[in-house]
Structure 1
Amino acid sequence: MISNNAELIDNLEEQEDLIDYTHKVLDFISKDTLNENDRKFIIKETVNNFRDFVNPGFLDYRKSVTKGGQYAAVEWRDAGLNSFIDVNGKEYIDCLGGFGIYNVGHRNPKVLKAVNDQLKHQALHSQDLLDPLRAILAKLLYEITPGKLQYSFFGNSGTEAVEGAIKLAKIHQNKKGKNHFISTVGAFHGKSLGSLSATSKGVFRKPFAPLVSGFKHVFYGDIDMMYKTVRASSMVGEDIAAIILEPIQGEGGVILPPKDYFAKVKEICDQFDILLIADEVQTGMGRTGKMFCTEHYGVEPDIMCLAKALGGGIMPIGAVIATEEVFSEFFPNPFIHTTTFGGNPLSCAAAIATINVLLEDKMPERAEKMGKYFISELRRVGNKYKDIVREVRGMGLMIGMEFENDKIGYKVSKGLFDKGILVAGTLINAKTIRIEPPLTIEKGQCDRVVKALDEVLSNLV
């Protein structure tokens, strides 16, 4: 029996309408500038199609959508390394950074050139021959990551990197009778079934229960609880295979652990033969003032997860990197964990160029210097409004500002948005707004953000 949709598509008149529609869309994609009719069409189609075909919940969530959904700010193009423009021509300083993807800026010229150059040769690979850029990128990651991390598997996202890390830990530790994991309260590691088992927020977890078995959660930063949980698990025959941690909890509200926390966790791992998985999806690639945040703590993980900024803000790519001892479990059968699009030539070209920019332009050092200035200025303003601002915290250009409650956080985000500055709340700790601009942000732009923040807060007290 032919479905109703199939019957509609079979109708030649309907097909012509769809072809005309796609031509209209392809036409505005090709344009450098939009006219008034273009702008109206794009806004109308975007709002209506989100409501009818994507998810109407997004229209309630977005700060830019008016009551009834009559209007929404719709992204159009980048405007330099640190800004973007909506379809109506309004420019925004990007202090969200795509949740941490724009470390080297929007449309970084070197990354864009690498992708365009590769596109002239080949966009995707045949899957059967050896592809050079994947091999070269893996070598570069071996060179820049800490400790004995050596072999890489490439996917398309941070979630895929975490999934790969979990599977690596399982296959390595199962033969020792270890198949349980420890994560932390406040952690965010993704939303696929495996990574969601490590993620902590109940509202994300409960609808999909039961999740992957064997995951336990302890309070982040509480080394005593970590030790007792590991020891108790061992005593009852539920030995821990791996501990997965963010060096700074991102979605948890930009939460920094005690300075000696990671070192002490590593000591526990060594004592009980547990793998340490560092989830550097958001903290990696220079964001915190070091190439990788674990370097601040002097800790060498057994497995590391990367994504977000690895693709230079232009291509999606994720990576799980492990020591030879751990990764060698995949050697006998390299097809035991695979992906069609992971490690494709365009993404690898973007990542190679990103590493070049981070090293050549000393981006981690820049993040450290600019972060110290930005945090000090944000704290200066926050101290003027202690009734509603709890704390400004961060490392490098990974910054959080925590308010007394969620409503204040949303109002501040909305107020800054109206002034042309994009920030956002965090998924697990909504009363904290995150400030994660590109590492290329200029001092003058930081000053504009601080000035706007002062004005927004003054209207809330």
Structure 2
Amino acid sequence: MTETALTSDLAGTHDAARAYELDRAHVFHSWSAQAEISPMVVTRAEGSHVWDGDGKRYLDFSSQLVFTNLGHQHPRIVAAIREQAEHLCTIAPAMANGTRSEAARLIASHTPGDLDHVFFTNGGADANEHAVRMARLHTGRHKVLTTYRSYHGGTHLAVNMTGDPRRWASDHGSTGTVHFFGPFLYRSPFHATTEAEECERALAHLEQVVALEGPATIAAIVLEAIPGTAGIMVPPPGYLAGVREICDRNGIVLVADEVMSGFGRAGRWFAVEHSDTTPDLLTFAKGVNSGYVPLGGVAISDEIHATFAHRAYPGGLTYSGHPLACAAAVATIRAMEDDDVVARAARLGDEVLGPGLRALAERHEWIGEVRGTGAFWAVELVSDRSTRAPLAPYGGSSPEMGAIVKGCQERGMLPFSNYNRIHVVPPLTTTDDEAREGLEILDAALTAAAG
């Protein structure tokens, strides 16, 4: 195929007005009322920025859906995808392929403990679906326990595992999922006043749920190592280790959902490293290749891997371990290693984002709490600090939140908002100056929205 032919195939896609017209005519958007949205047309992106159809530049403080960990158009990742496309675009998952094998090796080199075997999926939701399937087959049990403040994906089982309101429309109570309260001191369901109390009482609550549900009926406890869209609540010291002990004592598989928190986002390769806890299964996606080509997976312990040594695992996907996606993963992980990106993310949180957000909290009465680690922060917005009344209802929004988001966008920053929170989740490669610029824009938007 000639360069001219290749160019002509995509030439019409660069017209922003046409892109919007065709989107509104033909594209069905997720999590949206179709007639009530007006999506931004993005024409190009680079580093920590994207440009809209009018040529306006925005600082991407959302990493899109918290996946462009190495920013947009990273030259190493783009080059790897191009090289792989010129060599071998695709191959069925039953075949062995060098790029897929190297991606699995690199992932296993950073997962904790003996999580040395990788089952590739297309994204985070199907990674969680397959992790639960593995746990059920390994244990011979069916129930799965997850927290109320959680998000595990949009497919049927994953959205039923989800605790937040996105579950409600699809929840018919028939998938074997049971929800419990995880630790969250700012809105403690246990009336705790310290992190130590919150940890102790949350573990006691989980013990009771396990006992009342019947330990012999429970296949897995699935936890986001740090809950992401549910609020970036870093678990108190000792909590994940306590859950690990409960699982071990009752023969329950512990699954760590690291779809959002993994690959440096929380200032460690994986967020479970903050607690020195090794799960039996670890799910990932997003940051594994910065979302350049869809990829997810399950990292599997030796014990669970042995279950399927002489017993076929009944599951698979047509595009499992797709060579283009795995090439992007290889380049992403090697770039992270060479550029010490994980340490960079930890420093960004310790020296810029954390102090900057705490300074904002001193100036704005609407900020009830800031929390996070690495490049993974949440700003909890309240209408009254004394009562901690949220600035938007759980599962909804409010004019005040709309004004804050609009104010950020007008000033050239794309925020990540969810209910009454703004999440500060820029690419891990964001410079200190870019991070400070984003915080200044958030500051100005809060000031304007509060009148």
- Shared fold (TM-score greater than 0.5)? yes
- Secondary structure at 1:144 match in 2: coil
> Structure 1: how far apart are the matches of 2:171 and 2:93?
33
Equivalent-residue separation in structure 1 for 2:340 and 2:93 (angstroms) = 35
Partner of 2:189: none
Maintained 8 Å contact 1:330/1:336:
no
Which of 395, 404, 424 matches 1:412?
404
Counterpart for residue 147 of structure 2: 184
Aligned to 2:447: 458
Output the CA distance in 2 between the equivalents of 1:187 and 1:181. 14
Question: How far did 1:351 drift?
Answer: 0.6
Question: What is the aligned partner in structure 2 of residue 401 from structure 1?
Answer: 379
Partner of residue 426, structure 2: 437
Greater CA deviation, 160-169 or 333-342?
333-342
How many percent identity over aligned positions? 28
The answer to whether structure 1 residue 166 and structure 2 residue 132 are counterparts is: yes
In structure 1, which of residues 219, 239, 242 is the aligned counterpart of residue 181 of structure 2? 219
The alignment partner of 1:149 has SS state of: coil
Residue 27 of structure 1 pairs with residue 11 of structure 2: yes
Distance 1:275 1:232 in 2: 18
Give 1:269 deviation, angstroms: 1.2
Q: Does 1:375 align with 2:354?
A: yes
Deviation at 1:332, TM superposition (A): 2.8
Offset of residue 312 of structure 1: 2.5
CA gap of 1:54–1:112, structure 2 versus 1, over 3 A, is same
Q: What residue number does 1:422 align with?
A: 414
Pairing 1:305–2:294 present: no
CA contact (8 A) 1:253 1:432 kept: yes
Is 1:338 paired with 2:304? no
**Cα displacement (A) at 1:431:** 0.5
How many angstroms does 1:60 deviate by?
2.7
Task: Verify the 8 A CA contact 1:182 1:218 in the aligned structure 2.
Answer: yes
Question: Are 2:40 and 1:40 aligned?
Answer: no
State the distance in 1 between where 2:359 and 2:445 align: 15
Match of 1:204 among 161, 167, 170: 167
Superposed counterparts of 1:13-92, under 5 Å: 26-29=10-13, 38-50=15-27, 57-58=33-34, 60-61=36-37, 65=38, 73-78=40-45, 80-92=46-58
Distance 1:438 1:56 in 2: 25
**C-alpha distance after superposition, 1:389-416 (max 9, x if no partner):** 1111111101111112122333212210
Counterpart Cα distance in 2 of 1:411 and 1:101: 25
Alignment CA distance shift 1:207-1:305 (3 Å): closer
Matches within 5 A, 1:279-294: 279-294=257-272
Aligned-pair CA distance for 1:203: 4.6
Mapped to 2, the partners of 1:420 and 1:58 lie a distance apart of: 25
TM-score (norm 1): 0.84
Q: Alpha-carbon deviation of 1:58?
A: 4.7
What do residues 129-173 of structure 1 show as CA deviations (whole Å, max 9, x unaligned)?
A: 322222222222221100111111101100011011000100000
For the pair 1:326 / 2:312, whether they are aligned, the reply is no
Q: Which amino acid aligns with 1:447?
A: R
Q: SS of the residue aligned with 1:103?
A: coil
CA separation in 2, counterparts of 1:101 and 1:127? Answer: 24
- Per the alignment, do residues 335 and 281 of structure 1 end up closer, same or farther by CA in structure 2, a change over 3 Å counting? same
Amino acid at match of 1:370: L
* Residues 285, 392 of structure 1: alpha-carbon distance in 2 compared, 3 angstrom cutoff: same
Shift of the 283–26 alpha-carbon distance from structure 1 to 2, 3 Å rule, reads same
129-138 vs 340-349, greater mean Cα deviation: 129-138
Are 1:391 and 1:402, in contact at CA under 8 Å, matched by a contact in 2? yes
- CA distance in 1 between counterparts of 2:282 and 2:332 reads 18
Counterpart of 1:45, as a letter, is: L
Give the RMSD, CA atoms, in angstroms: 2.1
Q: Which piece of structure 1 moves more, 403-412 or 204-213?
A: 204-213
Contact 2:91 2:322 in 1 (8 A): yes
1:301-345, Cα deviation, whole Å (9 max, x unpaired): 100000011122311100101112112333335462111112011
Match of residue 69 from structure 1 = none
List aligned pairs for 1:127-142, cutoff 5 A.
127-142=93-108
Structure with bigger gyration radius:
1
Whether contact under 8 Å (2:288, 2:329) holds in the other structure is yes
- Note closer, same or farther for the CA distance 1:448–1:203 as it changes in structure 2 (3 Å cut): closer
Paired with 2:58 and 2:25, the residues of 1 have a C-alpha distance of 24
**1:190/1:196 contact within 8 Å kept:** yes
Structure 1, 153-162 or 123-132: larger mean CA deviation: 123-132
Aligned positions, number: 411
Shift of 1:54: 8.3
Query: Which stretches in structure 1 are left out of the alignment for 5+ residues?
Result: 1-22, 32-37, 66-71
Partners of 2:170 and 2:94 lie apart in 1 by 39
